[in-house]
Each structure stands twice: as structure tokens, then as C-alpha cells.
Amino acid sequence: MKNYFNYQSVIKHASGAARVVVLFLLVMNISGTVFAQADIHFSQFYETSILRNPALTGVFADDYKVGVYYRNQWSSISNPYETKVVSGESRFQMSEMSNDFFSFGVLGFTDKAGSVDQKITGIYPSVNYNKSMNVDHNTYLSVGFTGGHIQYSFDPGKATFNNQFQGGRFDPNLPSLENFPNTKMSFWDLGAGLNFNTSTGYNNNITYVLGVSGYHFTQPKFSYYDVNDVTQNVRFNGNAAMSMNVMDDIIMQVHVNAAFQGTYKEIMAGGLLSWRKSLGEMKEFILTGGGFYRYQDAVIPIVKVKYNRMALGVSYDINVSTLKDASHMAGGVEVTLFHSGDFFDKGMAKKMVCPRF
């Protein structure tokens, strides 16, 4: 939407108690305590590159990465908000004579929120071209694009209205006297991004990543009612990260992510510290711990365990916003499970000049 107050265009087309439901559906699509039409968000945001910046697709150390993601939020207040994600990414070297890479991926998600079961489903394929700028420092400039399809829906049969209350009691058999012209809406989305990564320090032991991206460039119609002046806000995103080998078996990462969409903003920052143990035969065990802070919303501790090619991450949002009295500081739990690897065994000859983090 062009701004928050465009919701008035929707509300004036609704009658009676339906205005309350419209406000809930269009305004209370919340992440944390922020209002406005914010996209779904994640605490382990570094695992959802396609939704954060399509130019981050394929920017990791292996040839492919597939995984699932589950988030459960606000179960202490009302019906929990549940988000499920499945994704896959891969990359290929353009030719044996080139250090350029082509990456592609796809991410699908479903999100259910509130007592009226507002559901959001979407699928985002992405492509990314990684141009080698400097071989000695593993420097790459990446340009990525994504085009997705999103559908919103809700169940009006689970809504309650003033007309269904008599004598202070709710009677579901009473007519609501409300009419919803549509219970679904869908649209196509378009996003693009740039990302720059390079390495420095002794033996290139420090890697930097910096990127910008945008989504909803088409600003599609965003209303259950037949009004054209209510559109989806463009979301702009900025990402920055640093990875450093503190010791041979200790790795430190710092991440910052900022998203802006209409009146909504989300700024997250934090770090992870990993201990790596080689198990021989190209196998390893990595234990990671750390935390993030979502500005004016939540403190998020994170634990991640990786064995060989499988990685399991668990995080929990400790709510510290103005909603903490109602939520009792309980926010949301997230679980991620990812598998990564190479298409064939490269042994000690594995190519290290590639876009990675």
C-alpha cells in the first residue's frame, strides 16, 4: 500500500461489524508489535536468502543447499501464527575457464495467522549471476532476480459479529448479516537485488558481505474488496555480514539486516560463534551459539548443530516489546533443518574461488 491510511479506502466499502474483520485482516498482519502490511519475517533470517535478497541465492560454501523451516509465534496470546518454508538453492560454474557462477533457487511458504485462519501461500523462484571481480580476494558482485506468486485467504465462517450475540451470549446459528465479496486474493510479485562479497586478512580469513534488494516492485492490488487504490507497499532490504576465523577451530559471524515497508521497519543485528571439530574422512562437527536483537521487539538466542552435511538450528523470540505484559515475554520458536553438499566428491581439489559465506 502507498501508506497506512489507504486502509480507509477498504474500510469505507465494508459495512457494520465487517469493518472490524477488514481491519484485522489488513492491519493486524503483524510481525512482533508493528502494524501495517508487513511481509512474513524470520529470526534465523540468514537461512532465507531468497526472501531477503535474491542476489544471496547460492552464496554459500557448497554446491547445493536444501532445507525446511518452521516458525510458531504468539501461542501465549491467541491462536498461534504458524509459518512453514521449504527451499532449495544451487550454483554452477559458468565454464572451466571462468570464475563466474550462475545460481538459482526456489522457496515456497505457507503462513496461517489468527482466529479467522488468514493464510498466505507463496512461491519464489530466483536466479543470480555471480561475477568474479578479483580472484585473489574471492571478490564477487552478484545480481539476482525473483518473481513470485502469492495468495491471501481467510475463513469468514470462523469470524464472529455483533449480530450473533444475544443476551450477552454468542449464537453461531444467528446470521451475521455481513457479505464478503471475496475471501481470496492473489497477485504476482517481482524482486531484485545486488550483493557484494570479498575476503581480506591473513589467508583471506575475513569475509565481508554487503547487499541491497527490493520486493513488490509491481505494487499489485492488495484488497479483498474491488478497490484499485489499495496496493502492496514496496519492501526495501539491506543486508551486511562478516565472517572471521578467530582460530583454526573458532569462527565468528556478525549479521545485520534491515527491512522497510511502508510505515513498517525491522532492524536485526547479532552474532554467532562456532566451534569446529574435524572427524576425519572429510567429516566435521560444528556447534554454534549466539543471539540477535530485533529492535524494540525481541531478544533471540540461537543454537545450531551441524554434523557433516546436516545442520539443525533452534531459536526462540523473547518478547521485550510493549506487548510483553500480554505475551509474558513469550514470542516464537523457530526450527530449521538444512542439508548441503557437492554434486561430486572434489576432495582436496575443491575450488575455493566462488561466491560464498
Annotated domain spans of the chain: 4-349
What is the structure's pLDDT at 351? 52
Judge whether 110 and 121 are in contact, CB under 8 Å. yes
Residue of higher predicted confidence among 113 and 328: 113
Is there a contact between 196 and 140 (Cβ–Cβ < 8 Å)?
A: yes
Question: Residue 181: beta bridge partners?
Answer: none
101-113 and 330-341 strand pairing: unpaired
Q: What is the pLDDT of residue 27?
A: 39
Question: Does domain 4-349 fall into CATH 2.60.120.10?
Answer: no
Give the β-pairing of 139-153 and 165-166.
unpaired
Neighbours of 353 (CB within 10 A): 16
Burial class of residue 283 in the structure, from the number of CB atoms within 10 Å of its CB (0-12 exposed, 13-18 middle, 19+ buried): exposed
- Residue 40: what pLDDT? 84
| Per-residue pLDDT, 323 | 59
Res. 10: pLDDT tops 60: no
pTM: 0.82
Lowest pLDDT segment from 9-18, 138-147, 238-247, 278-287: 9-18
User: 189 or 80: whose pLDDT is higher?
Assistant: 189
The pLDDT of residue 346 is 58
pLDDT value, residue 183 = 87
Amino acid 95: pLDDT:
86
What pLDDT sits at residue 175? 80
Question: 249-303, pLDDT tens digit by residue?
Answer: 999 999 999 999 988 999 999 999 999 998 877 789 999 999 999 998 899 999 9
Q: Which of 11-15, 113-117, 128-132, 176-180 has the highest mean pLDDT?
A: 128-132
**pLDDT tens-digit series, residues 91-117:** 999 988 889 999 999 999 999 877 778
